[in-house]
């Protein structure tokens, strides 16, 4: 079938404003949006810029607005979208070029919550053992692929780019509820700051956007509760 692909393009070294470019692309119903982008780049306009790596929903590098929703280009089939498809860069991040956005601030926030195991004891001879029940406590938030679809769909983030954002909170949750971790207090301090977890207004856009199906609002609620219990 013939698909009309509209891409919001912008080159900050050349353009004053973003503009829509249109491409006619021959595609199968079972092709993905990523295949359309490849087709344009390889056969029509080599200057089109976008990120991708794994091509299979694992690396998180090709989140973008597809027909108005944050999705992974490698996961969305053409037959779900029809013959007119529009693609834009994630909202709320500076655009570097076309669909490539500057994620430095996003990853700084991720790093600020210490997304790794903080251990007081030296490592044992083999492994830090954990019961299946204790592992289950944070299973959902281990699934994050850091695609930023949640944070860039959040109106609280759009209105305040300093908000830590759901992705960083999800990754804090991953370690806060790990019974082997000793870094809770430092993490909770970051989450309790004025641009921390309290900026979440339970809008749920993040849950809609997450390609991994993580119950983000629930995780955020659990972090808020941990902070409230800590105060008493
Ligand atoms: Fe992406 Fe979901 Fe992780 Fe957010 S929580 S960064 S949407 S995988
Ligand atoms: Fe934003 Fe999700 Fe909270 S959309 S306001 S982080 S529930
Ligand atoms: Fe890796 Fe889409 S290219 S998630």
* 51-88 pLDDT per residue, tens: 999 999 999 999 999 999 999 999 999 999 999 999 99
pLDDT in tens, 154-209: 999 999 999 999 999 999 999 999 999 999 999 999 999 999 999 999 999 999 99
158 C-beta closer than 6 A to ligand 2: no
Alpha-carbon span 75 to 51, nearest angstrom: 14
In the CATH scheme, what is the code of domain 2-101? Answer: 3.10.20.30
pTM of the model: 0.96
CATH class of the 104-231 domain in this structure: mainly alpha
pLDDT tops 70 at residue 232: no
Non-local CB neighbours of 167 within 8 Å, separated by 6+ positions: 106, 109, 110, 144, 146, 148, 150, 151
Q: What is the pLDDT of residue 231?
A: 63
Q: What is the pLDDT of residue 134?
A: 98
Instruction: State mean pLDDT over 87-95.
Output: 98
Alpha-carbon span 180 to 119, nearest angstrom: 7
Q: How far, in Å, is the centroid of ligand 2 from the Cα of 14? A: 35
Q: Which residues pair with 141 in a beta bridge?
A: none
209 C-beta closer than 6 A to ligand 2: no
Alpha-carbon span 118 to 105, nearest angstrom: 23
Q: What is the pLDDT of residue 66?
A: 98
154 C-beta closer than 6 A to ligand 2: yes
Q: Where are the domains of the chain?
A: 2-101, 104-231
* Cα dihedral across residues 177, 183, 188, 190: positive or negative: negative
Q: How far, in Å, is the centroid of ligand 2 from the Cα of 148? A: 13
Q: pLDDT category, 230, cuts 50, 70, 90?
A: confident
pLDDT in tens, 126-149: 999 999 999 999 999 999 999 999
Alpha-carbon span 63 to 131, nearest angstrom: 35
């Amino acid at each position: 079938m013939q698909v009309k692909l509209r891409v919001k393009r912008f080159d900050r070294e050349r353009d004053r404003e973003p503009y829509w470019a249109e491409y006619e692309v021959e595609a199968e119903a079972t092709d993905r949006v990523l295949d359309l982008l490849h087709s344009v780049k390889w056969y029509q306009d080599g200057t089109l810029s976008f990120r991708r790596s794994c091509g299979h929903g694992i690396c998180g590098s090709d989140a973008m607005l597809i027909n108005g929703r944050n999705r992974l280009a490698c996961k969305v089939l053409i037959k779900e979208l029809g013959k007119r498809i529009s693609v834009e860069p994630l909202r709320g991040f500076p655009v570097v070029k076309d669909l490539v956005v500057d994620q430095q601030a996003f990853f700084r926030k991720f790093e600020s919550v210490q997304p790794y195991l903080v251990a007081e004891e030296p490592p044992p001879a083999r492994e830090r053992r954990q019961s299946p029940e204790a592992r289950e406590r944070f299973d959902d938030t281990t699934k994050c692929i850091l695609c930023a679809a949640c944070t860039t769909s959040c109106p609280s983030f759009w209105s305040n780019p300093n908000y830590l954002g759901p992705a960083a909170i999800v990754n804090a949750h991953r370690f806060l509820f790990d019974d082997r971790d000793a870094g809770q207090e430092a993490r909770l301090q970051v989450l309790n700051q004025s641009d921390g977890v309290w900026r979440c207004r339970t809008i749920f856009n993040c849950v809609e956007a997450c390609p991994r199906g993580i119950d983000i609002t629930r995780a955020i609620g659990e972090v808020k509760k941990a902070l409230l219990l800590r105060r008493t």
